[in-house]
Structure 1
């Protein structure tokens, strides 16, 4: 790509390379996660939702989980419904909204999530080997800024 006089082309080109790499890494990460948690009856998407439930400060409705994940509410609802059928999550009455039930982990769900973490930790340690924590943190900061800009465009 030709460089423009405003000096933004190098940053634009670097961002394009980053985005293309993100697409590839995202696909590889989802496949990696799917293989890891498949023995538990999970997929990366199911596991991601369990994580959102665990890390929420309090039980949340599906719409809030979807917002926190940056995901489509209908897709999250479909997965939550599947998890409920499998006894991994349950719905509780929401005192603030009659129709938007709260999603909570069942005992089976908590055990499943903890088992997924047990599988994840050694694999994450192996992936992190040879990478400096500072470099990982810098990459996270760049991705946080990119996410914030993309969210602002949607606003």
Structure 2
């Protein structure tokens, strides 16, 4: 029987492996609509409301500079808009535009069938995913 620390290390390795595989399939799906996985990720992290670039970067686990570059590209392409941030004049909030929402909706709809097939092959239920997410959220909270 493995200790909690050993199980944690194996869990993190599995999360990284899953994230890498998911990124590769996301890249293929995004390319079909003229996007990249990086752009998809930034659009997705802003789907529940405006955020600053640093806040989006924290959520994605990336450096703010890399998210700033992608966000800048998305503003230029009309997918995002920068709006005034009442809490920080020098750090605007990034918000999805109608084009950004439409693109994100297209990306999600293209990926839903693919993800559903993966979940079916794995025999994973919504309840199991909810438990896994709760464990990951608790670990994330403890690390913060």
Query: With structure 1 as the length reference, what TM-score do the two structures score?
Result: 0.79
Please name the residue that 2:42 is paired with. Answer: 49
Write the mapping of 1:17-32 to structure 2, written as runs, cut at 5 A: 17-32=10-25
Cα distance in 2 for partners of 1:17, 1:63 equals: 29
Structure 1 or 2, whichever has the larger Rg, is 1
Q: How many residues align?
A: 142
Please name the residue that 1:146 is paired with. Answer: 139
> How big is the shift at 1:80?
0.2
Q: Deviation per CA, 1:13-52, whole angstroms, max 9, x where unpaired?
A: 2222212212211111111111111122222221121112
Please name the residue that 1:34 is paired with. Answer: 27
| DSSP 3-state at the match of 1:54 | coil
Cα distance in 2 for partners of 1:141, 1:94 equals: 31
> How big is the shift at 1:136?
1.7
Please name the residue that 1:136 is paired with. Answer: 129
Task: Please provide the CA RMSD for this pair.
Answer: 2.0
Please name the residue that 1:76 is paired with. Answer: 67
> How big is the shift at 1:99?
2.1
Q: Which has the higher contact order (CA 8 A, sep 6+)?
A: 2
Segment of structure 1 superposing worse, 97-106 or 28-37: 97-106
Consecutive unaligned residues in structure 1, runs of 5 or more: 4-8
> How big is the shift at 1:113?
0.9
